Amino acid sequence: MKLDFVGTYAFNRSLQVNSAGLQRELSKVQTELATGRVADIGSALGYQTSRSVNLEAQIDLFDQIKSFNGVLTNRLTTMQDAMNSIVDGANGFMGEMGAAIGGHMDRSVLQGFGDKLLGTVTQFANATFNGEYVFSGVNTDVKAVIDFQGADWDAAKQEIEDAFQAHFGFASSDAQAATITKTDMETFIDGPYADLFNDTNWNQMWSGASDRGVRSRISSREIVENPVTANDAGFRKVVSAGVLLQFMAGTSAGGNALNAAAESAMTQSANGLNDLANSQGRLGVIEQRVSDAQDRIAIQKNLLNEQLNSLIGVDQYEVATRLNQLVINLEASYAASSKIQSLSLMNYL
Amino acid sequence: MGLTDALRTSTNSLSTYSNVLSTVSRNITGVNNADYSRRNVEIGSDSLYSTKALVTREVNISVFKASIDASSKLATTQAMADGLNQIATLQGGDNFIFAPTTMLQTLRQSLELAAADPSSEMALSLSVGNAREFASAINTSYQQLLNERQNADASIASNVTKLNELLDRFNEANSKVVIAAQSGGNDFTSEDTRDALVSQISELVGVSVLRRDNNDMMLVASNGAVLFDRQPRAVNFEQTRIYGANTTGNAITIDGVPITGDGAGFPVTTGALAGQVSLRDKVIVDQLKQLDEIARGAIEVFAETDQSGNIPGKSPMAGLFTWNGGPAVPASGSLVSGIAMSFRVNELVDPQAGGDAKLLRDGGINGDADYVANSTGGPGFSDRLFELIANMDGNIQFDAAAGLGSSYSLTGFADASLDSLHTLRSEMNDRATYQGDLATHVRQTLREQTGPNLDFEMSALLQVERAYQASAKVMSAVDSLLGRLLDAV
């Protein structure tokens, strides 16, 4: 006789239990709809939770590298532009010198050529980017080439003078200097003078640059080293050419000797131009690598975004449909509650 | 059979129906009481002319057993799930902002930033700042987890107190039932109370019920330990108020015999207490060990090695991160308990503590020139920073005691720690949902079967009313017959 009846308490309570469940589900769906992500990532992913964290971090990292690469590209462009200017300066120097050689060597003209070349080199080899000297390698706080004035220049000139005296046996300003033959001068230039621009002396007298270039990350796996510093042969040769003219113009050397200096300066800057072209080429390779890396990063980032989305994203349409269904369910449950509550024998007695 | 017999019969039936009425009205009162079991009343013949109302209590032993079973399992899972959810919330919920994994990724990004612009002291300070945040997140998480252990311990203590109190009340109700049974009667109200108490006790410790003569009950915990046998057994637990790195929580004992922890042969596995003990002694302890290992791993990964090329070189020294035992680096692959508490950024590299952030780029944080990686001192030097970033992904040894295995990179280990937490959490949440549904369903079934139905009781009331009226009518008829007889005499 009991079988036909259900406990009234259980009967009423079942509606409460059901609508509580629906409401819980509803709040979850609302969160998902608002954020576009599953409501509880950790609980939904379990052992894959760290993947979602890592994917987000990687996407951030790619954004970061992308902006680094933008900065690096600008830096490389600055370097290319500066080197173009040096190349232009050296070309101009050679044109002017070519016209002068053979004729009478006027000291002040030579001095002027030297000054102009050195001025160009100083200006552009000491180009800065973000307050860093771009041709100084890792020693970004030191000038790549000394200013050709002041204490550094005086010290350097003294070294050349010492080398001159050691080679010829008299000071450069001595009247005997006028007797130096062309061959003697060539021997001096190729020997003691050239030594002043070897690896050790270059860094002591002329430049604060390091051999090591700045290293930068251009993609998640690649770190590239900037291949060009002022220690490259091109810079040295051009500086050497300019200094040679500057110095010789201040000596008492005769026409033949001056001619030898002028010819050597021509040769050196010609060689220097060749080397600068090489350096520019190497820089260009890096520029290309950076630009390739940028393209790859864009692709990788898209892939990662897709992965992240498939991991924690929700289908908005599906969620919206689910929301609708839940609302309908809940309304039906409320309607049923009120009907059932009013359905009691008490009302008819 | 005379008129007097008819009168006696109707008097008797009046008394029977008033008895039925009282039961029906009691059922009506119990309609909204979840613990009330319906009293069933049947009218049977007593002797030749009289009837008797036989009252019984609706019971369904198997559904009741299923119901207490389901509630105790749900309580275990719920306790674990609550604890795990709390840990996940402390780690920053869905954003995972305080999870070691996230902090390490942030640190890596700022190191990349510094490496892209190594001459910028700002970028280096930013890296050190992120390292400081990572270290302080490790310290804070460790302390929070210790607090969680304290909280779990406090919950165990309060639940044990509650359990003892419930057992006392159970004792009271049970004796009333037994006394009533011994005198041949029933005490249905006490039986209701007793069943409700069994439900409540089973939420704390899973129990099985043994029924004996005179409706006596004996309670046995799920591991076989006797909780109640004519007398309540003493359940004891000594609370530990402060938890440190190496604190072991006390076991719960019944009559001095441990029912939880390593000392118990068969520990109890169901009920809230089992869940809280497992949270306190296993889940949180694993998390603590993993934090210790992450801290130790970070010190190892960021340590500096001898750069001088001398053979033999000096042993590695703590770099960006250090600890109480610094500048020595803790032994690789073996857990140092509590290291997460003293884990911190080396003051010598921290600009906020008067240190020099540039040392992060150049190496030689501990002041020994042999550890300097940037030999020329050029500010564009980024090799050391790139090396540190690469080290974060390089495999080192971790202690298997932390529960995750031994060969991981630092970031991999932090990932695995996060994953293991959420695997368990996800499992517990799923199980809690499933067991919750099951427990609700079983409880619902129990109430449907044993609870009174208002409509049924109301119709029974009408029936009784009519029967009562009929009996009264008989009495008045007999009365008038007797009246006529007496008038005639």
B144 and B289 together in one domain: yes
A294 and A318 together in one domain: no
Residue of B nearest to A11 (CA): B448
Indicate whether B352 belongs to any domain.
Answer: yes
Beta-bridged to residue A217, according to DSSP, are A223
Mean pLDDT of B284-294: 95
Indicate whether B283 belongs to any domain.
Answer: yes
pLDDT of residue A4: 60
B269 and B356 together in one domain: yes
B425 and B460 together in one domain: no
pLDDT at B437 over 60: yes
| C-beta of residue A208 within 8 angstroms of C-beta of residue A144 | yes
Structure tokens at B281: 């002694």
A233 and A94 together in one domain: yes
What distance lies between CA B282 and its chain's CA centroid?
13
Partners of residue B444 in chain A, C-beta under 8 Å? 10, 13-14, 17
Half-sphere exposure of B325 (CA within 13 A, CB side): 14
pLDDT of residue A83: 94
Closest CA to A5 of A334, A345, A338: A345
A14 lies within 8 A of chain B by CB = yes
% of chain B at pLDDT higher than 90: 59
Q: How far apart are CA B278 and CA B280, in angstroms?
A: 5
Closest CA to B95 of A32, A42, A25: A42
Residue of B nearest to A344 (CA): B455
**What single letter denotes the amino acid at residue B141?**
S
Partners of residue B429 in chain A, C-beta under 8 Å? 40, 43
B374 and B421 together in one domain: yes
Indicate whether A309 belongs to any domain.
Answer: no
Q: Taking a contact as any Cβ pair under 8 Å apart, which residues of chain A between 128 and 157 contact chain B?
A: 130, 132, 136-141
Mutate to test the interface with A, among B103, B130, B448 (most CBs of A within 10 A): B448
B239 and B367 together in one domain: yes
Indicate whether A323 belongs to any domain.
Answer: yes
Beta-bridged to residue B217, according to DSSP, are B211
B329 and B420 together in one domain: yes
Indicate whether A135 belongs to any domain.
Answer: yes
B138 and B34 together in one domain: no
| Per-position DSSP letters for A71-125, written without gaps between them | HHHHHHHHHHHHHHHHHHHHHHHHHHHHHHTTS---HHHHHHHHHHHHHHHHHHH
Q: How confident is the model at residue B343 (pLDDT cuts 50, 70, 90)?
A: very high
Number of domains present in the structure of chain B? 2
Q: Phi and psi for B92 in degrees, rounded to 5?
A: 105, 15
Number of domains present in the structure of chain A? 2
The model's pLDDT over A145-168, given as tens digits with 9 standing for 90+, comes to: 998 888 888 899 899 999 999 998
Q: Taking a contact as any Cβ pair under 8 Å apart, which residues of chain A between 303 and 322 contact chain B?
A: none
pLDDT of residue B444: 87
3-state DSSP assignment of residue B396: strand
Half-sphere exposure of B1 (CA within 13 A, CB side): 8
Domain that holds residue A320: 9-36+314-348
B101 and B26 together in one domain: no
Q: How far apart are CA B61 and CA B58, in angstroms?
A: 10
A8 lies within 8 A of chain B by CB = yes
Indicate whether A205 belongs to any domain.
Answer: yes
Indicate whether B443 belongs to any domain.
Answer: no
The model's pLDDT over B452-470, given as tens digits with 9 standing for 90+, comes to: 888 888 888 888 888 888 8
A319 and A297 together in one domain: no
Q: How far apart are CA A35 and CA A315, in angstroms?
A: 11
pLDDT of residue A2: 47
Indicate whether A142 belongs to any domain.
Answer: yes
Indicate whether B442 belongs to any domain.
Answer: no
pLDDT < 50: residue spans in chain A: 1-2
The model's pLDDT over B76-135, given as tens digits with 9 standing for 90+, comes to: 999 999 999 999 999 887 788 899 999 999 999 999 999 988 988 889 999 999 999 999
DSSP classification of residue B363: B
Closest CA to B26 of B34, B37, B12, B16: B37
Q: Could you give the angle at the alpha carbon of B350 between the alpha carbons of B345 and B353, nearest 5°?
A: 105
| C-beta of residue A238 within 8 angstroms of C-beta of residue A214 | no
The model's pLDDT over B375-398, given as tens digits with 9 standing for 90+, comes to: 888 888 999 999 999 999 999 999
Subunit contact B109:A60, Cβ cutoff 8 A: yes
Mean pLDDT of B248-266: 86
pLDDT of residue B79: 93
pLDDT of residue B158: 95
B331 and B394 together in one domain: yes
A139 and A262 together in one domain: yes
A37 lies within 8 A of chain B by CB = yes
pLDDT at B198 over 90: yes
A111 and A215 together in one domain: yes
pLDDT of residue A59: 92
The dihedral formed by the CA atoms of B433, B438, B439 and B443, expressed in degrees to the nearest 10: 140
Q: How many pairs of residues across A and B have Cβ atoms under 8 Å apart?
A: 175
A263 and A319 together in one domain: no
| C-beta of residue A86 within 8 angstroms of C-beta of residue B137 | no
pTM of model > 0.90:
no
Indicate whether B444 belongs to any domain.
Answer: no
What distance lies between CA B336 and its chain's CA centroid?
29
Mean pLDDT of B34-56: 81
Of A42, A54, A64, the CB nearest to B88: A42
A194 and A329 together in one domain: no
pLDDT of residue A45: 87
A76 and A189 together in one domain: yes
Mutate to test the interface with A, among B84, B389, B418, B431 (most CBs of A within 10 A): B418
Mean of per-residue pLDDT scores for chain B: 90
A195 and A274 together in one domain: yes
Partners of residue B130 in chain A, C-beta under 8 Å? none
Indicate whether A166 belongs to any domain.
Answer: yes
Indicate whether B334 belongs to any domain.
Answer: yes
Q: How confident is the model at residue B1 (pLDDT cuts 50, 70, 90)?
A: low
Indicate whether A24 belongs to any domain.
Answer: yes
Q: How far apart are CA A26 and CA A38, in angstroms?
A: 13
pLDDT of residue A3: 52
pLDDT of residue B56: 86
Domain that holds residue B467: 3-58+451-488
Put residue A276 in one of left, alpha, beta given phi > 0 → left and psi -120 to 50 → alpha: alpha
3-state DSSP assignment of residue A228: coil
Residues 6+ apart with CB under 8 A from A283: A76, A79, A80, A83, A226, A227, A228
Q: How close, in Å, is residue B97 to chain A by CA atoms?
A: 10
The dihedral formed by the CA atoms of B347, B349, B352 and B358, expressed in degrees to the nearest 10: 170
**What single letter denotes the amino acid at residue B154?**
A
Cis peptide before B312 (omega within 30 of 0): yes
DSSP classification of residue B230: S
A153 and A244 together in one domain: yes
B298 and B348 together in one domain: yes
pLDDT of residue A1: 42
Partners of residue B117 in chain A, C-beta under 8 Å? 71, 130
B133 and B271 together in one domain: yes
Residues 6+ apart with CB under 8 A from A292: none
In which residue are the tokens 């940028």 written? A294
Residue of A nearest to B109 (CA): A61
pLDDT at B305 over 50: yes
| Per-position DSSP letters for B274-343, written without gaps between them | HHHHHIIIIIHHHHHHHHHHHHHHHHHHT-B---S--SSPPPPB--SEE-TTTTBPPPTTS--TTHHHH-
B429-451 residues labelled b (16+ CB within 10 A) or e (exposed): bebbeebbebbbebbbbbbbbbb
A221 lies within 8 A of chain B by CB = no
Indicate whether B446 belongs to any domain.
Answer: no
The enclosing domain of A260 has a CATH number of 1.20.1330.10
Mean pLDDT of B56-78: 91
**Residue scoring higher pLDDT (B175 or A40):** B175
Number of C-beta neighbours around residue B232 at 10 A = 20
A97 and A175 together in one domain: yes
Indicate whether A50 belongs to any domain.
Answer: no
The dihedral formed by the CA atoms of B196, B201, B202 and B206, expressed in degrees to the nearest 10: -150
What distance lies between CA B488 and its chain's CA centroid?
84
H or E stretch covering B228: strand B226-229
B104 and B222 together in one domain: yes
Subunit contact A8:B94, Cβ cutoff 8 A: no
Partners of residue B383 in chain A, C-beta under 8 Å? 215
Q: How close, in Å, is residue A13 to chain B by CA atoms?
A: 8
A25 and A127 together in one domain: no
Q: Counting Cβ atoms within 10 Å, is residue A163 exposed (0-12), middle (13-18) or buried (19+)?
A: middle
